[in-house]
Amino acid sequence: AQTVTQSQPEMSVQEAETVTLSCTYDTSESNYYLFWYKQPPSRQMILVIRQEAYKQQNATENRFSVNFQKAAKSFSLKISDSQLGDTAMYFCALEDSNYQLIWGAGTKLIIKP
Amino acid sequence: NAGVTQTPKFQVLKTGQSMTLQCAQDMNHEYMSWYRQDPGMGLRLIHYSVGAGITDQGEVPNGYNVSRSTTEDFPLRLLSAAPSQTSVYFCASSLIPGEQYFGPGTRLTVT
């Protein structure tokens, strides 16, 4: 069975600091996608960043970057220069070959002013 | 291009009542799915469809029915609502792997 694990239920950092959220996963598939989604209090699911498993280069989107370690099945999210608007729940998810998403339990991130 | 729309945004049901959550997309996506999100948990797949006329069960299908008569619409039916179905429901659609678009969610409370 495929699983996604987020071991940090909650994190908090000061504004402008860098924070890293952890995610590990397990899958037997050779090609898959990994995602980080942000869910603010509005509960809308917002795609933050996406990584294709066959690409060795780590994905980057502005202040957001990932550290993808395929052999270790690790997919962490780094947020640089954190902003108050980054406060939200963050979910790690794995998409299998059937388009199905398997989700972690989420990390609540609080950015303090 | 409205993306993925869901109605209603909020709903309160009494135990035993039935209702349909609506989901529509205007992007001509073949793949559509329904998830539920319970407090403190990630999303769990209820049902999904890979095209009109084709549906299949996900991780937590009991108590829910779906149908896919058109590419655009994928309604989720609660047959006899139970308090355990109190949750936030998300609909998603996709054309290609790695690109899933989510609706705004429906918050359902069953008393």
Residue A43 has its nearest CB partner, among B41, B50, B88, at B88
**What's the start-to-end Cα distance of chain B, in Å?**
36
Cβ within 8 Å of A, B 1-30: none
E strands along chain A, which residues?
3-5, 10-14, 19-21, 24-26, 33-39, 46-52, 60-61, 64-69, 74-79, 88-95, 101-103, 107-112
Q: Does B61 touch chain A (CB under 8 A)?
A: no
- Could you tell me which residues are beta bridge partners of residue B31? B94
pLDDT at residue B42, rounded to an integer: 86
More confident residue, B99 or A14: A14
Q: What string of pLDDT tens digits covers the 111 residues of chain B?
A: 779 999 999 999 999 999 999 999 999 999 999 999 998 788 999 999 999 999 999 999 999 999 999 999 999 999 999 999 999 999 999 988 778 899 999 999 999
Neighbours of A15 (CB within 10 A): 13
Nearest CA in chain A to B40: A105
| pLDDT tens for each residue of A19-55 | 999 999 999 988 899 999 999 988 899 999 999 999 8
What was the pLDDT predicted at A73?
Answer: 95
- Convert the pLDDT of each residue in A69-106 to its tens digit: 999 999 999 999 999 999 999 999 999 877 889 999 99
Q: What is the dihedral of CA B25, B55, B61, B108, to 10 degrees?
A: 20
Distance from CA of B91 to the nearest CA of A (A): 11
Residues of A in contact with B48 (CB under 8 A): 99-100
Which of chain A's residues have a Cβ under 8 Å away from the Cβ of B54?
none
